[in-house]
Amino acid sequence: MTTDSTVTGHEGMQVVGANTGTGRTGRTGWGMALAATVVLGCAAAAQPAVAAPAASDAGYHIYAHGFMSDGIVGFSASDTGQPSPIPRRAATGMPNWAQAPSPDGRFFYAAPTTDPRLISYTIGPDGGLSPLASMPLPDTPVDIAFAPNGRDGFVTVGAVNAAIVPIRIGSDGVAVHNGSAVPVGGAIDGLGSAAVSPDGRNLYVASVTGRQLVVFDIRADGTLSEAKQRLAGGINPLYPAITADGRHLFITNELSATVQAFNRAEDGTLSEVAGSPYPAGLLPHIASTTPDGRYLYVPNMGSSFISSYAIQPDGTLRRLPDVDFAPEPGVNSESSVMSPSGKALWVLGTDPARAGEEVLRRFAIGDDGTLVRDDSTARYTGTTVADGRTLTLVPAV
């Protein structure tokens, strides 16, 4: 993680050190230690009203790993019940940033950084992960993103001179290369995190070292075009999050402590909305949007709260009340996943009082978008340091 505070390529960004929450103070000791030691913390028409769904008893599986520990742990969970551990911890190697499921929920993928490879797993009826074959990667893996067709995927690799490795998923779940790796395009691009548009036509890559958001077209065969658009980000742009209708995209700027908001055109290109970037907490990380596209939630790795926003029809953001991740001071939040109903947000964080052990908990989402923390669901995972895409939700098949 760079501690560079120089602002380039974007006007009006806020730098780390400012109190960008709503009167809370950042968890500077642990947060800045992580910042120093962890490399990666990656005008629309009016939308019709969407009725808010009720919380669902339908089950799903939640998987977590720690950047500084081996293996993936899982829980069977729902919007309303208590999470229960899934037997067997799947080995991955360490450190490890990237994990992702196939869109059909049948397979799971992880990529350790020191032994660059993509490991395929089957997801059993009880949620247990069983390893399949692994595929070599040309550089340090950072993130994994899948197209909605369930066949095509993309692995971002490289701390500098980054590239995107197109992959193809077979019927057996094993990943194989799908043509040559595509350079992100800039000499200093690296540590890229990615998202595929809901229509499967575009890939968006946030380059930490390049401080840019890069847009690619996805061809019918799952390969990529050269970069078609490059937009200025803040300091350490991370983890694009796209609304389910594909109209709005958001990235968190880790060291600028902001969220940038973009509107997406029919051809996949982006335009930044008025008022962007918006203040977040210290070291904002992996955001989630509700399925109806009305709300955005951003865990802050350097602050002890989650930033919440209402997404307006034109893509602008209206700040909602912050919610503390944990009742204890100093326990941070890093990664989030949304339940299929859009009525529960699961968040993974790190507890410095327990040597960096990760803790998972659920938040109910009110009809007005406010979060309500449920401390009865808190589960310590036995894995260490939430950093990267360390949390995944998979609907039970």
Judged against a pLDDT cut of 80, whether residue 231 lies above it is answered with yes
Spatial separation of the C-alpha atoms in residues 359 and 377, rounded to whole Å: 10
Q: What are phi and psi of 58, to 5 degrees?
A: -60, 140
Q: Which of 50-59, 62-71, 267-276 has the lowest mean pLDDT?
A: 50-59
For strand 278-279 and strand 288-289, is the pairing parallel, antiparallel, or unpaired? unpaired
Choose among 253, 286, 333, 337: nearest CA to 26.
333
**What are the backbone dihedrals phi and psi of residue 79, each rounded to the nearest 5 degrees, phi first?**
-70, -20
Residues forming a β-bridge with 228: none
Share of residues in the chain with pLDDT > 90 (%): 77
Output the pTM of the full model: 0.87
Q: Which has the minimum average pLDDT: 46-60, 130-144, 206-220?
A: 46-60
Mean pLDDT, residues 125-151: 96
Give me the phi and psi of 30, to 5 degrees please.
-70, -40
On the question of pLDDT at 205 being above 80, the answer is yes
pLDDT at 90 over 80: yes
**What's the Cα-to-Cα distance from 59 to each of 72, 84, 108, 234, 342, rounded to whole Å?**
19, 11, 17, 38, 13
Specify the DSSP class assigned to residue 354: G
Say yes or no to pLDDT of 176 above 50: yes
**Does 128 or 37 have the greater pLDDT score?**
128
SS3 124: coil
pLDDT recorded at residue 53 = 54
Q: Provide the sign of the torsion angle of the four alpha carbons 338, 339, 343, 348, taken in this order.
A: negative
Q: Count Cα atoms within 13 angstroms, Cβ side, for 148.
A: 10
- Residue 18 CB neighbours (<10 A): 13
Average pLDDT, the chain: 87
